[in-house]
Amino acid sequence: MIFYFSGTGNSKWIAREISVVQHERLISIADEMTNPDAAFQYRLTDNEMIGFVFPVYSWAPPAIVMDFIDKIRFENFRNPYMFFVCTCGDEVGLTVDSIKKAAGKRGWSWNAGFSVIMPNNYVCLPGFDTDPKELEEKKLSEAVPAVGHINALLTARESDVFEYRKGSWPCFKSRIINPLFNKYQVTAKPFFATDSCISCGLCEKACPVHNIRVVDKPVWGEFCTSCLACYHVCPQQAVQYGKATRNKHQYFNPHQ
pLDDT digits (tens, 9 = 90+) for 41-95: 999 999 999 999 999 999 999 999 999 999 999 999 999 999 999 999 999 999 9
The residue-averaged pLDDT of 176-180 equals 96
The CB density around residue 229, as the number of other CB atoms within 10 Å, is: 25
- The DSSP bridge partners found for residue 27 are 3
> Which residue spans within 6-159 are E strands per DSSP?
26-28, 41-43, 50-55, 73-75, 82-88, 112-117
Could you give the CA distance from residue 130 to residue 150 in angstroms, rounded to a whole number? 26
| pTM of the predicted protein model | 0.96
pLDDT attached to residue 202? 97
Q: List, for residues 108-148, the tens digit of each pLDDT value.
A: 999 999 999 999 999 999 999 999 999 999 999 999 999 99
pLDDT attached to residue 90? 95
The residue-averaged pLDDT of 228-242 equals 98
Q: List, for residues 153-164, the tens digit of each pLDDT value.
A: 999 999 999 999
pLDDT attached to residue 9? 97
Contact between residue 204 and residue 213 where contact means Cβ atoms under 8 Å apart: yes
Task: Say if residue 256's pLDDT is above 90.
Answer: no
Q: List, for residues 206-225, the tens digit of each pLDDT value.
A: 999 999 999 999 999 999 99
- Sign (positive or negative) of CA dihedral 74, 78, 80, 84: positive
Could you give the CA distance from residue 22 to residue 26 in angstroms, rounded to a whole number? 11
The CB density around residue 3, as the number of other CB atoms within 10 Å, is: 22
* Three-state DSSP state, 41: strand
The residue-averaged pLDDT of 228-252 equals 97
pLDDT attached to residue 232? 98
The residue-averaged pLDDT of 155-178 equals 97
Task: Say if residue 177's pLDDT is above 90.
Answer: yes
pLDDT attached to residue 148? 98
Question: Considering just the CA atoms, what is the radius of gyration of the chain in Å?
Answer: 18
Could you give the CA distance from residue 190 to residue 186 in angstroms, rounded to a whole number? 10
Looking at residue 78, its amino acid is R
Q: List, for residues 17-44, the tens digit of each pLDDT value.
A: 999 999 999 999 999 999 999 999 999 9
Looking at residue 180, its amino acid is L
